[in-house]
Chain A
């Protein structure tokens, strides 16, 4: 079990001594960067495209290609989020809040810089940590029963009010609507059709990627039509900028976000799309005075928290998925599928049959993170330039990209109807000042919260006390209660200040 650590030198030479591995890794990172930057095309799609190629490759090379795409696509989504307020990948949604605010102040290069830097640090931090705790990962992952997963979802619901920025009430309402819409479709516990109104297209429910493209993308496009000559602060083009002073101030933030992301990665069904919100909220709570005011209006710490967590979560989620052989997210699912194609068998026998595999994977992840940093830095210049074109040219492009991305998620024309629906919803929400972030979070964790609670209740139908008393869950409950009370307290003091 512990011997995996000892394979490091051997794996370093196997993986990194092969020039073809480097070639595929670099190709993967470049491809991943492009895919990540384009809204709607995420790591899942990028890796799925490669499945038809990798069975011809050595497993080391195939893994390099996949890891390259995975890391770069997860990491570069924040650039689009920062520059045009449309998350390149769902996991980058939280980056929109402060990244775009910063761009509007004409500091787009900084926004892109912090986003890239945080992605690199997040992936590296997540990988190093996961490598160190790898022997215990399976044990930790198995501790998450349905009750514990539900408690985590409750955390998510609790923070909906505060990630909103502005009216808390509107935050809760948006979250509720998001949760509600996530329940549409055939439910996964009893296969009952909910709110489908006999429409076969709705059996699968709403797709969260499409929802996000509609809410952020199409909503923004419609909104921009309101102004005859849209005003847009064009970011200065050039390489991304990182201010070292800001970085120093954020060391605590980074460490916290790495842990938060990693931890959430262990819980199946929550994943990186939600990790960024948890971490963003934590950073916001930890900030004081002036810093706190900046959240939502271009706080560097907000971008960093969101991007570090989403990338460390992506890395963190891979390992339990491989150790148990069940994917916790769609990206992990493609990864597992690819491993089968390369004759590797994810699951508890992986390390017996392919010793050193995890070690090699961690190496690839780390190297890919560094390569992504370099490549993103170079390519970001062009990206910033492209995305800084005047709004009247950009918006039609965004609409097309959103449509392509949406169609890609399900491959049915119904995707476009969904896109239009969410686009219109996003527009109305924007018009009425309802925050989109809690809506998205509700949509993402709604199904997991629903399934895990009902499953837990079924499992403990005869003894509810045993459910509440599960040791790991009990600990979580205590934390949750403390969190709730502290939240109430700070709400009250904020309320007084407002008076």
Chain B
């Protein structure tokens, strides 16, 4: 019996070690083994589930099993560093949200940015403004009026320094309003506190709360997208109006949430092309469409220069947002990151000199 136990230990050890071993191989052969995706967020969130679904589809197509691990901590910088320090052979990806790596420099967590990766993003989701299902407010104008009357009205955000909080604050500022913002552990947790009437309203990507809206637990008052949203509830369906019609100044908050993965930019071009191919195929599958539909996500294909530009725009909003609320010890100016008002692509030398996407 002891022998069996020892054998188990040796097996476990070997398995662990085999994960670390890497041999140089011809990029043309990729993939000869499974890919490891390091997800920078906890299990269960959109970044996690979207990557797991993508990995399942792409793994089947490529004939390899993907291994997904959640490496949280340091706002994702630990996962980012693990991916960048691994061999750039196409076998280690970073599963994240498009803005994830952009804050590390100003936060003084790690010296990396979006230019160190190629970003493949497969789904997006617009921001929505919502209140509890039994709230007295039925339109965003009613809520804004009430916020004017009570400058200390409580609203829940997804965590101080999170992209949801920063864009929510940007929305409040743009509208010339104010409020008492309470940070929670993610957009979903904030939404549950809205349902519990701990805070009056909140703001996050619709995919985080779509089921709470469909069950009638929360009421969506407005969507930060050109198109209105239709929500089906047990009591019937209702239309969530676009806030951009009445407040075009909120346009810069449109199209900021993208989920997918990144690979190091020094990955061989041949491998990048293969990953791109598999990615294109995956997002066109009905499985991906079904997944997106059930999560309130919109399938997109965000790669190439378009992806770079989106990441750069996010970098401007995110870094300056962090700096303005006093969370970033270093100024974005130090890294030549312009404010979103002055944004032009490429915004700085780093962006201009980044390795182009393989043709």
Contact = CB atoms under 8 A, between A and B. Distances in A.
B13 interface: yes
A191 B182 contact: no
B308 interface: no
> Which one of A327, A347, A451 has the highest number of Cβ atoms from chain B below 10 Å of its Cβ?
A347
B327 interface: yes
A349 B49 contact: no
A458 B182 contact: yes
Given A205-B73, A325-B188, A190 B211 contact: no
Chain B contact-residue range equals 35 or more
Contacts of A431: none
A411 B82 contact: yes
B325 to A, nearest CB: 9
B180 A455 contact: no
A3 interface: no
B198 A190 contact: no
A201 B110 CA distance: 11
Contact of A385 (B1, B53, B66, B185): B1
B159 to A, nearest CB: 7
B316 interface: no
B253 interface: no
A311 B129 CA distance: 39
Interface string B57-78: 0000000011111111111011
B123 interface: no
B73 A203 contact: yes
Nearest to B162: A191
Given A51-B68, A348-B217, A337 B74 contact: no
Given A333-B44, A401-B9, A191 B1 contact: no
A453 B299 CA distance: 40
B161 A191 contact: yes
Contact of B1 (A145, A350, A382, A459): A382
Contact of B43 (A336, A389, A407): A336
Interface in A296-350: 324-327, 330, 333-334, 336-337, 340-341, 343, 345, 347-350
B218 to A, nearest CB: 10
B110 A189 contact: no
B16 interface: yes
Contacts of B82: 411-412
B195 to A, nearest CB: 7
A332 B345 CA distance: 43
Contacts of A145: 193, 196, 198
Contact of B74 (A142, A204, A343, A352): A204
Contact of A200 (B74, B152, B211): B74
A190 B16 CA distance: 36
Interface string A199-226: 0110111000000000000000000000
A444 to B, nearest CB: 17
Interface string B203-244: 000000001101101000000000000000010000000000
Contacts of B199: 459
Contact of B327 (A52, A143, A191, A345): A191
Interface string B69-103: 11111110110011000000000000000000000
A461 interface: yes
Q: How large is the interface on A (under 10, 10 to 19, 20 to 34, 35 or more residues)?
A: 35 or more
Interface string B259-288: 000000000000000000000000000000
Contacts of B9: 397, 400-401, 404
Contacts of A204: 72-74, 78
B53 A341 contact: yes
A203 B109 contact: yes
B291 to A, nearest CB: 8
Contact of B196 (A52, A142, A348): A142
Nearest to B104: A200
B160 to A, nearest CB: 5
Contacts of A499: none
A186 B74 contact: yes
A347 B218 CA distance: 12
- Pairs A-B, 5 closest by C-beta atoms: A204-B73, A203-B74, A348-B215, A347-B211, A337-B43
Interface of B: 1-2, 5-6, 9, 12-13, 16, 42-44, 48-49, 52-53, 56, 65-75, 77-78, 81-82, 109-110, 152, 154, 159-161, 180, 182-186, 188-189, 192-193, 195-196, 198-199, 211-212, 214-215, 217, 234, 290-291, 294-295, 327
27 contacts: A48-B70, A52-B65, A52-B66, A52-B67, A55-B56, A145-B196, A186-B75, A188-B185, A191-B75, A191-B159, A203-B73, A203-B109, A204-B72, A204-B78, A325-B192, A326-B186, A337-B44, A340-B44, A340-B49, A341-B52, A349-B214, A350-B211, A397-B5, A404-B9, A410-B73, A412-B82, A459-B182
Interface of A: 48, 51-52, 55, 142-143, 145-146, 185-186, 188-191, 200-201, 203-205, 324-327, 330, 333-334, 336-337, 340-341, 343, 345, 347-350, 352, 382, 385-386, 389, 393, 397, 400-401, 404, 407, 410-412, 451, 455, 458-459, 461-462
Given A188-B185, A337-B49, 8 more contacts: A55-B52, A191-B75, A337-B43, A340-B53, A347-B211, A348-B211, A404-B12, A455-B184
